[in-house]
Chains A and B, each alone.
Chain A
């Protein structure tokens, strides 16, 4: 218990660091994921190919390798940014591949007849998309997106090992100060549980509000 009280400031900073990473990377992942999903269902072949390559490569890249390439490799390009920005980039791009697949499968869960019916009523493409298809797709992808973002929060731990200030990294400071390492990890674990449970609660609520009963 002492570990937490004596070092509340360190823990709080690490916790906020993780939350910050998670939030920024989530936004990036959602934006990129949406873009890639629209590429993958686009009628234009080259965009579909680009989306497919993006998803296939990123889904099969170990995240540690991606962090290595982005945090240590990109500066060799003459691109020097704060480590935190690099970490957000790596996490966001990696997660976007999973978000993209979730969204795409959501679009595929909408029966083909829905779109046909909308067109037969004379709706334009944008009407079909925004009034009929997307609202249904959106509701069925809430749970997979929730679990993807939880995984993102957990994956952000890797950033700590690349000396970005976040929750897991706090163990280094505290072990140098000579605190009990086991208790330090207990509080780190509690911190991660708080974050994942919060995301899960938010998505549970969203699912109850908007989920579809099929």
Chain B
């Protein structure tokens, strides 16, 4: 995922001395351009007085700091609830899709496909506006329905990715289907699909910010309260500069954790060659491409 050396692709030969010199020229020009861009943004920031004391003053107050911390706490609370419930719902739906009974399979498939194809925000608004639910349960319910359905697909493909022989051997030993699942398939599948599960949790964490739109008092909501305060000269940009690194940092940590787990799993001989791609967001496309499906 980091910037890889270009010679690892089919595109380039190992550059010779003259090409290297040309590349150094390109590097100098592009670095200059990027620096100019950064400088221009900094100039704009200073030019529009984003660094004046009044705009940064609010962050000195204890009340404001507490407001932000409370918002962050609410974000993490919604995330924790949504994560646990999505995993539970995903398990139920995946069990349903792998069931031997046709009606159960159909119903679960219908539920999974419908909730993957709907925008999360439509579900959240529906629960919030039409069913008149409080913001937190509405947000958690919406996130659970969407991420649970996506996770169900991850679980299903994880179980299906376990070598066929394992299942056949277990059946040959006289195990029941439940035993085959719980003793043989699921323990092996979990290892392979753990990175995909964590990546999906990053999506859930990112989407908790949708709570802002239904007046749930989460992190972004706290930021908005500060940003639109006239006493501090409407510090929109400073608020964005304080809030975004924290949000992005949390998501990045979780993403890196997913990558770390995935690298560790790839080295493990027990999960050799088994790779579970992150489920695609309600694609309705059959098949699927290379194992880098987007998670949005």
Contacts and interface: CB of A to CB of B under 8 A. Distances in A.
Interface of A: 40-52, 56-57, 59-65, 68-69, 72-73, 76-78, 95, 98, 101-102, 105-116, 119, 125, 128-129, 132-133, 140-144, 146-148, 150-152, 154-158, 160-161, 168, 171, 175, 181-182, 184-185, 188-189, 192-193, 196-197, 200, 203-204, 207
B39 interface: no
A157 B6 contact: no
User: In terms of DSSP, what is the predominant structure of the interface of chain B?
Assistant: helix
Contacts of A51: 3
Nearest to B27: A44
Contacts of B209: 62-65
Given A62-B209, A154-B118, A192-B118, A68 B224 contact: yes
Contact of A157 (B8, B119, B223): B119
A125 B44 CA distance: 40
Interface residues of B, number: 70
B11 A200 contact: no
Interface string B232-251: 00101100100110011001
Contacts of B281: 147, 150-151, 154
Contacts of A158: 121, 210, 213
Given A62-B209, A73-B237, A111-B10, A196 B3 contact: no
A89 to B, nearest CB: 15
A188 B236 CA distance: 32
Contacts of A143: 283, 285, 287-289
A77 B44 contact: yes
A72 B126 CA distance: 25
B296 A148 contact: yes
25 contacts: A44-B26, A45-B3, A46-B30, A47-B26, A47-B27, A52-B2, A57-B248, A62-B209, A62-B220, A63-B206, A65-B243, A68-B212, A95-B296, A110-B10, A125-B11, A147-B282, A148-B296, A150-B281, A152-B296, A155-B296, A161-B213, A168-B121, A185-B125, A192-B117, A203-B285
